[in-house]
Structure formats: C-alpha cells, structure tokens
C-alpha cells in the first residue's frame, strides 16, 4: 500500500486515525472486542482551493480537528461502555448537530478563558500593583509566561487522573503506529512496539507552539487598549496564531534531522512525556486496527460502515 501521511488522536479506550481521504475510530469495548467506525472524508481543498494557502490551512485544520475530535470522543465514550447488546439494537447515540455545536462552544470558551483571558487579567493585576513594568514588551512577555505556566499546570494536573492516563497510553500507541507506518513497517504489535511514543507532529507540540507564537502576535496589540478589547483581540487573532503555528510544525517535521530544528522542537517532545504513556499490547492492537482501517478506506476499498 502506498505510503501516505496520517495523523491521529487518542480517544476513550481507543484511537482515531485520519488519512487524506478517510478516518477510522477503533475502540475496545468492555467485553474485549474492537469496534471500528470508518468514513470517507473529502478534503476541503478540493472544493475550496484557497484552503491550501499557508496560514489559512492551519486555521482550517484546527477547526476541523475540533469537530472531528469531539465526534470521535462521543463515539468512543458510547462504545467503550457497551457490553452485550441484542441483535440489531443501535450502538450508542450520536450527538445532534445542536449538541455538537454546544459542546464545541463550551470547550472553546473554556480554552479561551483559561489560556488567554485569565493570563491577561493576571498580568493586568500585576501592572496595577506596580509589580511589573507596563511597557508593551514586558506586559506581553509576562502575559505569555503566565499563559505557558497555566498550560503546563493544566497538562500536569490532568495527567494525574487515572482515566486520562489510559487515554495518554492510547496516545502513545497512536504515535508508535504512525512511526511504524512512516518507516514502511508491516503493522504488527511486534513491529510497532519498539518505536518512540514522542512524535514531532503531535498536537501537544502544536499547542505549545501556539502558546509561544501568541507572545509575539499579542505584542502587536496596543497597550492602551482597554481590557475588553485586548481580550477580544485574542479570540480574533487565534486563527492567525494557529496558522503560523501549523506552518512551523510542518516545517519542523520536514527538517527534523537538522540539529537546530531538533533543538527548537525539543520542548514539544519533552512535553509529550506528560501527554503520552507507554501502551500495552492490547492498546497497540487497537491503534494498529484503526490505522489499517483508515488506510484501507483511503485506498478506496471500503465505504462508511461499522465493523466489529
């Protein structure tokens, strides 16, 4: 099978894999069987060529990832709790369009509030009490440092949760499977197991890059603007920041053999030690199943269906 670029996401008791024209979600049910949902996905760039433009493609990719990710989590949450169901009974309940939109809105608002508005407010308090200089450079540097600290504390905190640790193990399984695919290996547990769980194109690295790029972008906001304008501008500028971060991530993955690039991507890989765990063989089996199904659909051998 032709080697193609793939990406993925860990979900509840499973892995979602995405190829250029397909995606597959593999989940291990409580009774031990693996259920797979797979879909054909038409690239947006075929209908809207401008989506392929630098910066724009990163912003679009972020929005698509949010939509697909929430759908994948919903599917996995339903399937992971399924025991034995009567013949013909529908597995789980998919979120409605309104429920999906509401979930995305809440998640987006939480992220903006925690990682952008809260650091801004904290930095403003520091300037009001004359603990730091109110120059534009110092203000945005402190704002950025607080943002990164909040982000790291959040990642560390959720990594202590038992259920999240299992998701992070599936995250490691996802990375190992993708590495094996990129190396041209036959996808078996034995072949996949030795590969690294740290991948340069990981979403964790992307989020850290977003935090750092935002420091530079937000420095362009006039310091005399009132708080509500500064907070609102962080939302408006987020697509630009995501686009720039996406381009850096792709560039870094393409030139990862360069020593300077390795130094630049090292913090993202180090952070993945928190967001990935060493998977067991059963988890690797799920990741491999998901990747194989996504590649099969991408090659045109199957259509949208549920496979057990």
The pTM (predicted TM-score) of the whole model is 0.84
Q: Is the pLDDT of residue 23 over 90?
A: yes
pLDDT attached to residue 96:
61
pLDDT attached to residue 2:
52
Q: pLDDT per residue over 198-233, tens digit each? A: 998 888 888 889 988 988 898 888 878 888 898 898
Q: Is the pLDDT of residue 88 over 70?
A: no
Q: pLDDT per residue over 138-175, tens digit each? A: 888 899 899 999 999 999 999 999 989 999 999 999 99
* Residue 60 in domain: yes
pLDDT attached to residue 1:
46
* Residue 1 in domain: no
Between residues 27 and 221, which one has the greater pLDDT? 27
List the beta bridge partners of residue 27: 14, 35
| Cβ-proximal residues to 260 (8 Å cutoff; 6+ apart), any chain | none
Q: pLDDT per residue over 37-52, tens digit each? A: 999 888 777 788 888 8
* Residue 2 in domain: no
* Residue 187 in domain: yes
* Residue 195 in domain: yes
Radius of gyration of the chain (CA): 21
Domain range enclosing 98: 7-84+94-307
* Residue 89 in domain: no
- Give the mean model confidence (pLDDT) for residues 189-201: 94
Give the chain's domain count: 1
* Residue 174 in domain: yes
Q: What is the DSSP string of the chain?
A: ------EEEEETTEEEEEETTEEEEEEE-TTS-EEEEEEE---HHHH-GGGGSTTHHHHHHHHHHHHHHHHHHHHHHHHHT-----TT---S-PPPHHHHHHHHHHHHHHHHIIIIIHHHHHHHHHHHTTSS--SHHHHHHHHHHHHHHHHHHHHHHHHTSHHHHHHHHHHHHHHHHHHHHHTT----HHHHTTS-S--TT-HHHHHHHHHHHHHHHHTTS-TTS-HHHHHHHHHHTHHHHHHHHHHHHHHHHHTTTSHHHHHHHHHHHHHHHHH-----HHHHHHHHHHHHHHHHHHTTS--SEEE-
Calculate what percentage of the chain has a pLDDT beyond 90: 42
User: To the nearest whole number, what is the mean pLDDT of the chain?
Assistant: 86
User: What distance in Å separates the CA atoms of residue 140 and residue 142, rounded to the nearest whole number?
Assistant: 5
* Residue 220 in domain: yes
pLDDT attached to residue 308:
41
Q: Is the pLDDT of residue 192 over 70?
A: yes
């Amino acid at each position: 099978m032709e080697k193609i670029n793939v990406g993925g996401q860990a979900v509840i008791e499973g892995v979602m894999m995405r190829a250029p024209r397909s995606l597959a979600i593999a989940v291990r049910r409580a009774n031990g069987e693996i259920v797979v949902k797979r879909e054909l996905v038409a690239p947006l760039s075929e209908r809207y060529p401008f989506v392929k433009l630098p910066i724009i493609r990163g912003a679009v990719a972020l929005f698509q990832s949010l939509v697909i990710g929430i759908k994948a989590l919903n599917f996995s949450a339903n399937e992971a709790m399924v025991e034995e169901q009567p013949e013909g009974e529908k597995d789980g309940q998919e979120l409605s369009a309104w429920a999906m939109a509401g979930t995305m809105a809440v998640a987006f608002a939480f992220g903006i509030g925690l990682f952008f508005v809260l650091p801004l407010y904290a930095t403003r308090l520091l300037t009001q009490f004359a603990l730091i200089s109110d120059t534009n450079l110092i203000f945005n540097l402190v704002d950025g440092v607080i943002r990164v600290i909040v982000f790291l504390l959040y990642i560390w905190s959720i990594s202590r949760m038992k259920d999240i640790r299992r998701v992070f193990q599936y995250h490691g399984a996802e990375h190992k499977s993708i590495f094996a695919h990129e190396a041209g290996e036959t996808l078996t547990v034995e072949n996949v197991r030795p590969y690294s769980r740290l991948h340069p194109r990981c979403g964790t690295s992307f989020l850290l890059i977003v935090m750092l790029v935002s420091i530079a972008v937000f420095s362009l906001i006039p310091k005399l603007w009132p708080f509500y304008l500064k907070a609102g501008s962080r939302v408006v500028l987020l697509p630009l920041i995501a686009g720039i971060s996406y381009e850096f991530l792709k560039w870094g993955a393409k030139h990862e053999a360069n020593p300077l690039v390795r130094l630049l991507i090292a913090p993202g890989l180090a952070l993945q030690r928190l967001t990935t765990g060493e998977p067991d063989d059963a988890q690797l089996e799920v990741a491999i199943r998901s990747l194989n199904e996504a590649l099969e659909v991408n090659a045109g051998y199957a259509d949208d269906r549920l496979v057990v």
